Structure 1
Amino acid sequence: MQMNFSEIVLKPVGVIRSKIKEPVPRPDGAGITMKEKRKNVKAQRDKIRSMISEIVIDPSLEELLDDTDGHSHLMVLYWAHKVPSESRKLTKVHPMGLKEMPKRGIFATCSPARPNPVLVTVVRLLKRDKNILKVQGLEALDGSPVIDIKPYVHGYHGADNFKTSEWMEKMHNEVEEV
């Protein structure tokens, strides 16, 4: 089957206002233990889960937000605009930047380094004020373009009988144990 697609052009619907100004640097391992790395990952994740951010939608598109406040959680799709072009060519990465982990295919990881750096985060909707959504738990950098917003519907988006690879499950358990 030939994959001959024309270019896809996306127009952002808004922008993210966040306290996260730069990507979290991944230490190269010099002078830092794997336990310290995992501790840093856990601290950063916990900080993000409680962080309050704003999603500012283009005022001309404000009507798109009607009735979103009836949902407790939303899925925010955004463009990882600070992923360098050379990182978009990677095919494999060390999960979470942990060098002791074998490299894995990009699509098997949550790495922002992707051919098309479209990321998604489920957030708690705290408040809507006209074209601005105040949310909790958004893992995006300040200035990230918003591509789309969808309601999170557990019965529709929550998978039943899902499986996570053993290596990812082990990695997340190790982060929790730190």
Structure 2
Amino acid sequence: MHRPSPDSIGTAITLRPVGTVHSTVQQPFLVADRDGISMREGHDASMDHIRSTSGAITKIVFSEDCTGVLDGIEEYSHLMVLYWGHKVPEDSRSLTHVHPMGRTDIPKVGIYATCSPARPNPVLMTVVRLHARRENVLEVAGLDAVDGSPVVDIKPYVPAQFPKTEVRVPAWMDGLMKEVGERRV
């Protein structure tokens, strides 16, 4: 995969984690390597795994130097959590095409046409339901992040900022979402 140098696209960036995920999920259920992505041994039914994590309460502990940044967050029901896929191996970050969710019954597509964690910069995002805030700790439901994942940002989920009509997804993604039950949080 051709990767432009930082000089050709602008200045390199540095992300500073603002918090850490504390979860019962110890390993990602998808494994990425040079050949693509596949289900981790013991996770033969990925949709069951996704369904099982959608209601679990996960804690996000924010750094002490982030005091004040969470003020007012409890007025929202849902948040977008952006986190770093710290368990995505470096060699899988050069993948260009994968079978979505490692499913060989779905044709390979470009990595940016998927929600795969195996991407050049494994910045991952999940919309979660805010359960509670306790000082610098958020308790959320629906976060599929691995324990120890660095959180790089959160944003309130504001439905008016997202299109509701004329939204299109490929048939394979629509099928996956139906299998998951569209994982509402």
- Same-fold call, TM cutoff 0.5: yes
Runs of 4+ off more than 4 Å: none
Which residue of 2 is the match for residue 11 of structure 1? 16
Note the residue ranges of structure 2 that are not aligned, 5 or more in a row.
Answer: 1-6, 31-37
Which residue of 1 is the match for residue 161 of structure 2? 156
Structure number with higher helix proportion: 1
CA drift of 1:43 comes to 1.0
The aligned runs of 1:8-47 (5 Å cut-off) are 8-25=13-30, 26-27=38-39, 37=44, 40-47=45-52
Note the residue ranges of structure 1 that are not aligned, 5 or more in a row.
Answer: 30-35
CA distance in structure 1 between the partners assigned to 2:131 and 2:163 by the alignment = 21
Percent identical = 46
Is 2:136 the partner of 1:131?
yes
Which residue of 2 is the match for residue 69 of structure 1? 74
The residue identity in structure 2 corresponding to 1:42 is: M
2:89 aligned to 84, 87, 92, which one? 84
- In 2 relative to 1, CA 104–71 (structure 1 residues): closer, same or farther, beyond 3 Å? same
RMSD: 2.0
CA drift of 1:173 comes to 3.4
1:104 aligned to 95, 102, 109, which one? 109
- In 2 relative to 1, CA 72–42 (structure 1 residues): closer, same or farther, beyond 3 Å? same
For 1:70-124, what per-residue CA distance to the aligned partner results, in whole angstroms no more than 9, with x for missing partners? 0000000000000000110000111011122211100100100000000000001
- In 2 relative to 1, CA 103–127 (structure 1 residues): closer, same or farther, beyond 3 Å? same
The residue identity in structure 2 corresponding to 1:137 is: G
Matched residue SS, 2:154: strand
Matched residue SS, 2:112: helix
CA drift of 1:157 comes to 3.0
The residue identity in structure 2 corresponding to 1:99 is: T
The residue identity in structure 1 corresponding to 2:149 is: S
CA distance in structure 2 between the partners assigned to 1:122 and 1:60 by the alignment = 24
Matched residue SS, 1:63: coil
TM (normalized to structure 2)? 0.83
TM (normalized to structure 1)? 0.86
Matched residue SS, 1:45: helix
